[in-house]
Amino acid sequence: MAKLYFYYASMNAGKSTTLLQADFNYRERGMATMLWTAGVDDREGAGQISSRIGLTAPAHAFEAGTDLFGAIAARADEGPLACVLVDEAQFLSRDQVLALARVCDELGIPVLCYGLRTDFQGELFPGSAALLGLADILVELKAVCECGAKAIMNLRIDAQGHAVNEGAQMAIGGNERYVALCRRHFMARLRG
């Protein structure tokens, strides 16, 4: 039976790198994959998965209304599809996560999702909440806080490096906008 996987972590844990490595491993063995990423993340150009260490790959971009099941089923009709890999999975809707579960259950294609668990306020993203509830396999990838402990929180910072604790849940950015911290240091920085 095909499974739905959720690889989650804070910023800078290597989620995109791990996804691209998995994609490479499948393709190296002659197996076809289908890559997806959030359309809102266009830092490296629309439809691009990129990692901090310089790896990149083209991907299909999903938006709020994208019919993932339909698009994946249409691709599977063209020929064997070994797996589907989804980056920035925190931006999926609950319905899209349910569609990915259908890909596993009805099409027999494994789906590997990679994303943040929580936002800059410690709240679950909708896609992450759905994946935590529905995924067959949950895998936490590790990032490291400045103190050496496991980083589980994503602190949003302003241009001066000060903590930001208000604003929209979705604000795309990298190291210039977020710092991965352990909970203790996250809370301390929020308190100022």
CB atoms within 10 A of CB 141: 15
Q: Is 88 known to be catalytic? A: yes
Amino acid identity for residue 97 in this structure: V
Annotated active-site residue in 78, 88, 106, 123: 88
How far is residue 105 CA from its own chain's centroid?
21
Cross-strand bridge partners of residue 38: 62
Q: Is-contact 160 27, C-beta < 8 A?
A: no
Torsional class of 45: left (φ above 0), alpha (ψ -120 to 50), beta (otherwise):
left
CB atoms within 10 A of CB 39: 16
Active site residues: 88
